[in-house]
Chain A
Amino acid sequence: MMEHQNASAALLIAPTGSGKTMAGFLPSLVSLVEVPRQGMHTLYVSPLKALAADIKRNLLTPINEIGLDIRVEERTGDTSATQKKRQRVDPPQILLTTPESLALLTSYEDISRMFSGLQRVVIDEIHALSESKRGDQLMLALAAIHRICPILRRVGLSATVKDPSLAAKFLSYNSNHCEIIKLDTEAPADVEMLQITETAPWMGSGGSYAIPAVLREVAKHKTTLIFHNTRAQAELFFHNLWLANTTNLPIGIHHGSLSREQRQRVEQAMVKGELRAIVCTGSLDLGIDWGDVDLVIQIGAPKNIKRLVQRIGRANHQYDVPSKAKLVPANRFEIVECIAALQAVQENDLDCDDRGAGSRDVLCQHILIAACAGAFFSDELYLQVTSAGSYSDLSRKAFDDCLDFCATGGYALKSYDKWQRLVLSNEGKWHLRDPRAAKRIRMNIGTIQDAELLKVRIRGRSGKPLGEVEEAFAATLVCGDTFLIGGQIVRYEGLRDMTVEVSRKTSGKPKIATFSGTKFATSAQLSHRMLAYFQKKDWPELPCYVRKWMELQREVSRLPKVDRLLVETFPNEGRSASVFYGFAGRNAMQTLGLLLSKRMEDAGLNPLGFVATDYAVMLWGLEPLTDPSSFLNPVGLRDGLETWLSNNAVMKRTFRSSAVISGLIERNLPGNRKSGRQATFSSDILYDTLLKYDPSHVLLQITREEAMKGLIDFGRIEEMLGRVSGRIDHIVLDRVTPFAAPLLLEMGKVPVKGQAEERLLAEETARLMAASGLDKI
């Protein structure tokens, strides 16, 4: 690291446990010892608050031991207001922070004074940041700081990067050269499938069939981390684990929706070695070293090889000892996916996902932040923004649209002349019309959608909340619904003062999943590996029943291939079902389902509904599909996308998040949440209004850009159509095939909308009137 200390940007890729974080700090410590000085010297940014705290402990040990006079301080959402104020007056030599707290810092007028003299910035776990809007925000904040500190050197640290040049582009300033330093790879991980005697279910993602085997492993190891892909699954698994935990092994749960107190309790117990296992989610993914973990169990297919490698790294955090991990596929398709993932890990073949250009909703937020810090010339701000790697291709028009949006709302109807947010001064600088607005803008800084959470409390009892649920989820609850939180079953009692009130329920089955959050989609890399795996002659490593399942599929139909699309049509329960084995990941397959059902509707095939998984989409309707290729031409699909896009829930969800980030709506409009629900109206209404009266508005453009990258994932559909390029195998059968059978059991069937909801309403209201006897009155 010392050799590269003068590079303007350097990316250090080294395995977990190799001490790369300390290496990142070494040049700072040396420089501060050689030339002691006051003021900020090094800025450290990590994706997690907990990681910043961890690094502080690790840094202070050598500093105190050697007796260096170097101040190291954190600045995160948890830092007290007094401490924060003091830091702005008298910054420490090394400041540890998160992208959100850094963005907030850059919104103050004294930004130049605080960062003057800054030499280095160290960005930890850069791969985790570069995959999300948080990374865009960080790089825009650094661009602002770079303007003040032209000699700033950037260091990125990462354990897992497939394509270092992409990460280097992300890190670099003004497309300057970024050095890439790669350390030897670590000892090969000891990772394998967990031996389970029970048969995996046809479908589902909970993995509860493996609980006895998981408990046996927990008993054999010191501390086991049991990773899940979603919070809902973690909750469910934890619940079932305790029902089966007859020997009372101490097992805890940790995920991002639990209250801070509850999480800290689990973290402390883990450090003290009091817990034998922790059921967790992504909240424990990154480099925090709590306790002595010697086994990682991944429940459900990892969906993404990088994430798996990261999780495996949680076990045995030492450079030269192999990490030990076991995989638990949740169903038959996932068994194949896990085998494919194991091979990829052995070959160190990571998935590559280029997020593409920086998000423009984050840019809008950045423009508002810049205005908080002081008046600016638009030309200068444009140059500053495009110095950040992910915005280097941003056109001036696209920038100006965002600026106009921030200033006037950007509406075709110019009605906000009096209330513009930003106004142009005589000298041509943009500034806040009302300087008091800065406070409100600061309150909304950040790109993580966490503000829509509601606390959950036991009714009639004060004290600590049990945790939080998404507001959207809470809105669907009806009195008497039961759900899981923190491993307990609770009954929904009502909403009061923005808190979800519940009562404890000791028995019974939780009725609904706790979180409506998105599921990860299987990466392209893994999907291709699965398709290649199907083409093997035999699969000796698979359990017998899975092998038979695949052999039977090959016999009665075909096994899906990389360069061909398998489509099966068969009758089922008086309807005709068609399955498209696209292997393009859950989001893209869902989009394909929506598009195909629309086109089938137009063709008079009367589709009734569809269901999508990472591997396939099944549609059913009254008429059988005769020529699938006519529905799959890319131009037609794209046209369908245009019309269908505008009115769907995915777009509305994406709009909500972009509207908050770009500052169109605030996380907490003062007075709104407190004064009761009737004052707030949903962002869906804003979306509908905008679509009706101002369809080319910039925020709708941004919503489309984000949806295409994210939940709609049209890119994966095009990737699939590209590799298939018209080679479609349509197999017509008289019954369901082995591969299609799991889809019949899949949850989350989507009815083809239209009169469906009206019909349900009519039926149910009539039933309720009759049941209560009120229909006779």
Chain B
Amino acid sequence: MIDGHIFPLFGAQLIARPSGILWWADERILCVSDLHLGKSDRMARRFGVLVPPYETTDTLQRLQLEIEFLKPAVVICLGDNFDDLDAANSLSLTDRQCLSQLHAGREWIWIEGNHDPGSVELMGQHLTEYKFAPLVFRHIAKVGAEAEVSGHYHPKAAMRVRNNSIVRPCFLYDEKRVILPAFGTFTGGLRTEAVEFKTLMQSVAFAVLIGNKSYVMPMPRE
């Protein structure tokens, strides 16, 4: 039994893993969004701010754990895989080696995001979106789309329990789509109450809070 919250999307049985990975067991597809690899590099280059340069390694290590455990046939990186294209091209040798090890023996699909439009010098397919019936994978959700898997917004949910405030990254899903949380170590989040989600999500929608375990709840709204 694989840990996580199981839910259907147009007939596909998906698992929202506590790590933030989406797992489609029947097709052995692992989907991950918003890795933002090379963020510290871009911050140094663009803003002259020297934050700890360890986040790419950390993100890849966590991804590696999931890949080793789930042994996917296909890995789909849902966009904003790199903090920008220069960051993609200046990954350290160790990080590159780690990526090619992860890639070995499986299909790897890079979907472009707003941070990384265009292809990078890394193995794998580079696409703007990817269809695998019945689902379609793209970076930014489209209003009116169906059976859609996307990322981009870095959703997080907040709640107050017995005077404790708990904020966690989360998946959002309804009968039409699922939006993935950001997987990158240096990423923040957008609260589910935000106006963006109002137009995207149906009136019946769920948030799957992640961390040690996956917890499902009705999507918090205003």
Contacts and interface: CB of A to CB of B under 8 A. Distances in A.
Interface of A: 408-409, 411, 413, 415-416, 418-419, 421, 434, 437, 440, 475-476, 478-479, 481, 493-496, 663-666, 669-670, 676-682, 685-686, 689-690, 692-694, 697, 757-758, 760-765, 768-769, 772, 774, 777
B48 A692 contact: no
Contacts of B50: 408-409, 411, 416, 419, 421, 664
B199 interface: no
Nearest to B57: A693
B165 interface: yes
A416 B49 contact: no
B74 interface: no
Contact of B54 (A494, A495, A670, A689): A689
Contact of B51 (A686, A768, A777): A686
B117 interface: no
26 contacts: A409-B44, A409-B50, A409-B53, A411-B50, A413-B54, A440-B48, A475-B165, A481-B160, A493-B222, A666-B47, A678-B189, A681-B187, A685-B185, A686-B51, A689-B52, A689-B54, A690-B54, A692-B58, A693-B52, A694-B52, A757-B164, A757-B166, A760-B162, A760-B166, A765-B215, A768-B159
B51, B165, B212, B222: which has the most chain A beta carbons within 10 Å? B51
A193 B40 CA distance: 57
Given A678-B189, A689-B58, A764-B159, A421 B48 contact: yes
A437 B48 contact: yes
B187 A434 contact: no
Given A677-B189, A678-B188, A693-B57, A478 B48 contact: no
A703 to B, nearest CB: 13
Interface residues of B, number: 53
A669 B168 CA distance: 23
A763 B54 contact: no
B218 A479 contact: no
Contacts of B161: 760-761, 763-764
Given A475-B167, A478-B160, A685-B185, A676 B190 contact: yes
Contacts of A478: 158-160, 165, 220
Contact of B217 (A416, A679, A768): A768
Contacts of A440: 47-48
A669 B216 CA distance: 34
Interface in B183-222: 185-191, 193-195, 204, 206, 209, 211-213, 215-218, 220-222
Contacts of B191: 495, 677
B13 interface: no
B48 A434 contact: yes
Contact of A761 (B53, B58, B166): B166
B60 to A, nearest CB: 13
Given A419-B45, A495-B191, A693-B58, A762 B51 contact: no
B53 A760 contact: no
B50, B186, B191, B209: which has the most chain A beta carbons within 10 Å? B50
B80 to A, nearest CB: 10
A774 B219 CA distance: 11
Nearest to A755: B212
A413 B41 CA distance: 13
A693 to B, nearest CB: 4
B182 interface: yes
B97 interface: no
B165 to A, nearest CB: 4
Contacts of B159: 478, 764, 768
A663 B48 CA distance: 10
Interface in B56-94: 57-58, 92
B186 to A, nearest CB: 5
A669 B42 CA distance: 13
A308 to B, nearest CB: 32
B154 interface: yes
Nearest to A678: B154
B92 A765 contact: no
A682 B187 CA distance: 8
A673 to B, nearest CB: 11
A266 B58 CA distance: 52
Given A664-B51, A666-B47, A769-B216, 9 more contacts: A409-B44, A419-B44, A476-B165, A664-B49, A669-B43, A677-B191, A689-B55, A690-B52, A692-B54
B54 A693 contact: yes
B108 interface: no
Given A765-B216, A772-B218, A682 B49 contact: no
Contacts of B47: 440, 666, 669-670
B110 interface: no
A440 B43 CA distance: 13
Contacts of A409: 44, 50-53
A179 to B, nearest CB: 44
Nearest to B168: A761
Contacts of A768: 159, 217-218
B179 to A, nearest CB: 12
Contacts of B52: 409, 411, 686, 689-690, 693-694, 697
A271 B21 CA distance: 62
Contacts of A475: 158, 165, 167
Contacts of B54: 411, 413, 689-690, 692-694
Contacts of B171: none
A761 B193 CA distance: 19
Contacts of B194: 677
Contacts of A761: 161, 166, 168, 209, 211, 215
Interface in B30-49: 40-41, 43-45, 47-49
Nearest to B92: A415
B153 interface: yes
Contacts of A690: 52, 54
A255 to B, nearest CB: 24
A677 B51 contact: no
A413 B188 CA distance: 24
B190 A677 contact: yes
A774 B5 CA distance: 15
Given A437-B48, A676-B190, A678-B154, A413 B220 contact: no
A231 to B, nearest CB: 19
Contact of A760 (B40, B44, B51, B164): B164
B186 A681 contact: yes
B100 to A, nearest CB: 20
A409 to B, nearest CB: 3
Contacts of A663: 49
B161 to A, nearest CB: 4
Contacts of A479: 193, 220-222
Contacts of A493: 222
Nearest to B155: A678
A652 B204 CA distance: 37
Contacts of A677: 188-191, 194
Contacts of A669: 43, 47, 49
Nearest to A478: B160
A411 B53 contact: yes
Nearest to A669: B47
Given A479-B193, A690-B52, A680 B188 contact: yes
Nearest to A763: B161
B12 to A, nearest CB: 17
Contacts of B153: 678
A774 B206 contact: yes
A439 B185 CA distance: 29
Given A476-B165, A692-B58, A761-B215, A665 B51 contact: yes
Contacts of B166: 757, 760-761
Contacts of A697: 52
